[in-house]
Amino acid sequence: MKIAQTQFFDDRWRTGSIPDGFDFQKAQLVLAFGHPALVTDASLFGHIRSLFPGAAIVSSSTAGEILQENVHDNSLVVTAIQFDKTRVQCRVSNIKRHSSSYTTGVHLMKALAEEGDDLIAVFIISDGTHINGSELVSGFSENNPKCVPVTGGLAGDGARFSRTFAGLDLVPEEGNVVAVGFYGDNLKIGHGSFGGWDEFGPERTITRSDKNILFEIDGKNALDLYKEYLGPYREELPGSALLFPLSIREPDSTEHLVRTILSINEQEKSMLFAGNMPEGSKIRLMKANFDRLINGSSTAAKNSFGSLENSSPELALLVSCVGRKLILQERTDEEVQAVKQIFGDHTSLAGFYSYGEISPFNPNTRCELHNQTMTITTFSES
């Protein structure tokens, strides 16, 4: 496996890192993560296409780009991968062509499975505003008997929560979901996901909700509760609500998921979350602590070695939550540096700040939609 990386910012392409023997013609997969304005720019896309004529180009808008140990805004990070033996197949579909996010997931997973029995991993890049992430991942889990790892993230739009874009081999568009399938035994995949948030306050119960719209907690209005907790920062809603994500345990489940607020509706007094909030679920408020968030990223990295044990992966794709970036602010770099420290210099890092991370809790379990985590997928070819 050989990885070449380059970046566009401040109106120009930067000199990238191109390893010896890397063949631009033979790169099979290109990942382009960028600011919505840059990633949808046709001339920039044309440049990438001309650089890698034979590759599948998978694009995603972001709330921040990760390249090696640095975090950028307003840039476009391009990572090209030339596999030695592994096969790659990509599929794209649009939510408009399906009845639901769930069926979109089912459709794409089926399409990838039809390409070969040796499917060993799936990486998803999805629109982050029109798609219900929880339902999308349960669609992908529907036909996954071998429990191949499904990871990825939802596209971002800075801290604006407005328009997100994803695409395959074309300028990305809203509503798209791209699924990348990896085939063959030579690729070793690892994954880790960790938050580092602290729960506080009493445990509460969701008493009224509709899918990912939350109305009432313990019979009281949820938005009022948030406003009370935000105090002087209530004016900064919905951005400031990222300070207090919810830890949620669905009825009949023992796993705690983290859910973050996407938007609020003052008329309905409702809150839209980046994942389903089933009635009867137990929730607690969560609070960030800078050092714990950064340590959380280290933990995610440590968990993502998978079958590699102690040898560092060749590529690590980092999908971190926009909520972490809004908290960490100028210290955001530190959580990426913490990951770099775990992997060392031989691992190429690329990734983005997203509106939802996709990863299983543990190896060989179904994938889940996460919020407020650092989620890492590692790749090595033998």
Q: Which is nearer to other proteins, 111 or 159 (CB)?
A: 159
Identify which of residues 285 and 376 has a Cβ nearer to other proteins in the complex: 285
User: Which of 80, 50, 46, 79 minimizes the C-alpha distance to 62?
Assistant: 79
Site for other proteins in 164-203 (CB under 8 A): 200-202
Which lies closer to other proteins via its Cβ, residue 24 or residue 229? Answer: 229
Compute how many other C-beta atoms are within 10 angstroms of the C-beta atom of residue 347: 20
Distance CA 362, CA 192 (A): 8
Query: Which residues, in sequence order, are CB contacts of 207 under 8 Å at separation 6+?
Result: 216, 217, 218, 219, 279
- Going by the DSSP 8-state scheme, the letter that residue 313 receives in this structure is P
Nearer to other proteins, 115 or 334 (CB): 334
Least separation in angstroms between CB 157 and other proteins: 23
**Binders of other proteins in range 231-250 (CB under 8 A):** 231-233, 243-244
Residue 224 touching other proteins (CB under 8 A): no
Which residues lie below 8 Å from residue 5, measured CB to CB, with a gap of 6+? 16, 17, 67, 68, 77, 78, 79, 80, 348, 350
Among 173, 229, 292, 363, indicate the residue that binds other proteins (CB under 8 A): 229
**Does residue 23 belong to the site contacting other proteins (CB under 8 A)?**
no
CB 344 within 8 A of CB 355: no
Applying CB under 8 A, the site for other proteins has a residue count of 19
Residues 40-99 that bind other proteins (CB under 8 A): none
Residues 6+ apart with CB under 8 A from 114: none
Helix/strand/coil for 10: coil
Residues 251-290 contacting other proteins, CB under 8 A: 285, 287-288, 290
Reference 190, options 152, 154, 149; nearest CA is: 149
Question: Could you say which residues in the range 289-348 bind other proteins, by CB under 8 A?
Answer: 290, 327, 329-331
Nearer to other proteins, 31 or 241 (CB): 241
Contact set with other proteins (CB under 8 A): 200-202, 228-233, 243-244, 285, 287-288, 290, 327, 329-331
